[in-house]
Chains A and B, each alone.
Chain A
Amino acid sequence: MKKSKLVGILLFLMTVSMLVHTSAATMNVVVITDPTGQDPNGAAAGSQSWAENMFQSTFILSKDKHFCVLSGGEGNETPRLAAVMEAVNNLENGGTAESAATLANGFSGIRVMTGGPTIGAAVGGYFLAYVVIVSDNGTITITPYSGGIAVLPPGTKGAIIHLRNTPGNPQYGTADAVRLQTAEMMGQMIRDGYPATDVVAAAFKNVAINAGEKHGGGAVNLVSGITTGDMFTPTELNTTGFPMDQPYSKVSDNGWSVAYPEAANYQTSPIDGSNLTTVYAYQALDNAITVNANTTSVAVYGTDAPGVADTTQEIVQASVDKHGFSGTQIAKDINSAISSGLLVGVNNVEASDINVNANQKAVGVYFKALPDNRTSPPWNLPISASILNLLGNMQTAIGLILVILVLFRSTLISSFLKK
């Protein structure tokens, strides 16, 4: 009798802890500062948590249809995945943020937040959220919601933030205050004209420092279709991601950078001795999802060699800044980089290998990788390679014979004379 009661209580406690585990535990935020979808940084979203398993599934991004689906980070939590899939499916078929987020109410203990530049934003299911609406005359309205559905209507500027504390977080109990504080801060930033990517990064910083829900997660730029990918996500199952309030890397004025933990060993740039600036994770997140007006997006094809894509990006950017969008000029600059050894493992390019789209500020470079792990392109000699090979081998052979001749000179001569 007593034993069965104990088992019953244990079961009840386990159920409760599981339920708490599914519904609590994260920060989700969607910010829309340009509901027309024109500004490349006009809509952004992100997730972070104290909890483990904040993989990319907690901030799913559609690059083509410009929407995101955020949820809690519970690994392979089955109903959460079902809710996320229903939301994605709804949005793929032309649903609004509201219609997709409502679907979360069909699952117990699940929260789904969705948003996009033109579809508005919404959170459905189990949540504690503030909806921030900034009207055109600068009035900021902040409304609390808990559970059901909360909507930022399409066409309005504003944000939605959900925040709860995860059990085990040393800053447990701060969520309510920080949620309001972050909502107010976001409202002011949106009113003052900051782009959505900056607002999201600021929210990450505030929540990570003041509420302790700090493990990435990550963020997405909904208009430009850029995601932080696995920059901050955990490397293995059942571990936490990168703490968003910690230093992420160090950067020198000239572009050299090194990531933590190695960065702790560097005080100055080893290349030119210039000073290093520490980049915190929330700043790195901002840099990763913000699109600069003068940034050229460079796509590299034909090689997966590490470093080639990054270096090409820089060369093309420099070339475009100097000469504008000219395929021949870009090809010339890339070729000079190849001959100076800056780019290794690829053959020289022709102007026809460069695909330039000046309107979209996009450049595609089609490389041809070199065979046999060679580092530089073949030389262009007037004599064919096989003849050179033959001549070279013959000369080497004659040279070696001469050496032998010298060594055994006296013996050889005497043996000839004897004859």
Chain B
Amino acid sequence: MFIKVRRDTLIILLLAFLLIFSGRVMTYMSYASSTTSDQGVAISGVIIKGNDVVPLDSIRNSLANVGFRSGSYIQGDTLVTSKRQVPLNEAIANAKTAVTETTIPGTQLTPIVAADVEVDNSTGIVTVNVIEDFSSIHINGLNGTY
């Protein structure tokens, strides 16, 4: 041996290693068993009802564009997205506008005349009810409604 190490030094080092290791394992266990998160309630899913001709994916995209997407979360009365923080009621109002402006893919037609957006603050589930109406659609470039 080049380095002279006393036996009790080794024992103390081993003890220290054991203590640190088990300490780290314990903190991991505490993380793994904790249920609460300091990040608020994550937007966990979107349920869309009432759409018939407008595809689900289009409406889902509209909602994602105004912040109701995975990765966003609700903290108190605020919706925190990857880009900015908006008051929840403002975000819901934005979502309503965005949903009513959803088009049939490949066109500028917006058949959704009314949308109701509800956000469950405890589960993070967004429920959207839409009403489609084809009797009063305005088409750019044509007079009147179709």
List residues of chain A with CB under 8 Å of any chain B CB. 53, 55-58, 60-65, 73, 75-76, 78-79, 81-82, 85-86, 88-89, 92-93, 227, 229-230, 233, 301-305, 367-369, 371-372, 376, 378-381, 385-389, 391-400, 402-403, 405-406, 409
Contacts and interface: CB of A to CB of B under 8 A. Distances in A.
Interface of B: 9, 12-13, 15-35, 37, 39, 41-42, 44-47, 52-53, 55, 57, 60, 69-70, 73, 104-109, 123-125, 134-135, 137, 139-142, 146
Contacts of B12: 402, 405-406
A398 B135 CA distance: 75
A89 B55 contact: no
Contact of B27 (A82, A378, A396): A396
Interface of B is mostly: mixed
Contacts of B105: 55-57, 230, 233
Contact of B34 (A75, A378, A398): A378
A55 B134 contact: no
A341 B36 CA distance: 21
8 contacts: A78-B141, A304-B44, A304-B46, A387-B30, A396-B20, A399-B16, A399-B18, A399-B21
Contacts of B52: 62-65
Given A58-B106, A85-B146, A395-B20, A389 B27 contact: yes
A409 B10 CA distance: 12
A295 B28 CA distance: 42
Contacts of A369: 42, 44-45, 70, 124
Given A57-B105, A76-B108, A379 B9 contact: no
Contact of B70 (A79, A305, A402): A305
Nearest to A64: B52
Given A302-B44, A403-B16, A392 B106 contact: no
B109 A392 contact: no
Given A385-B30, A395-B22, A399-B20, A81 B134 contact: no
B29 A82 contact: no
A384 B22 CA distance: 17
Contacts of B108: 76, 81
Contacts of A388: 26-27, 29-30, 33
Most buried by A among B31, B46, B53: B53
Given A55-B107, A60-B104, A399-B18, 10 more contacts: A57-B107, A63-B52, A79-B142, A89-B135, A301-B45, A304-B46, A368-B123, A388-B27, A392-B28, A400-B20
B25 to A, nearest CB: 7
Contacts of B69: 304
A308 to B, nearest CB: 10
A398 B45 contact: no
B16 to A, nearest CB: 4
Please give me the 8 A-B residue pairs with the lowest Cβ-Cβ distance, nearest first.
A55-B106, A392-B26, A395-B23, A399-B19, A396-B23, A371-B37, A399-B20, A369-B44
A391 B22 CA distance: 10
Given A78-B139, A380-B33, A399-B16, A53 B106 contact: yes
Contacts of B146: 81-82, 85-86, 89
A399 B46 CA distance: 48
A73 B107 CA distance: 10
A108 B9 CA distance: 96
Contacts of B37: 371-372
Nearest to A93: B135
A380 B135 CA distance: 56
B45 A302 contact: yes
Contacts of A371: 37, 39, 41-42, 73
Nearest to A234: B106
B53 A403 contact: no
Contacts of B60: 304
Given A55-B107, A386-B30, A392-B27, A88 B46 contact: no
A1 to B, nearest CB: 34
A89 B53 CA distance: 11
Contacts of B46: 304
Contacts of A82: 139, 142, 146
Contacts of A398: 19, 23
B142 A392 contact: no
B105 to A, nearest CB: 4
B44 A368 contact: yes
Contacts of A303: 44-45, 70
A75 B16 contact: no
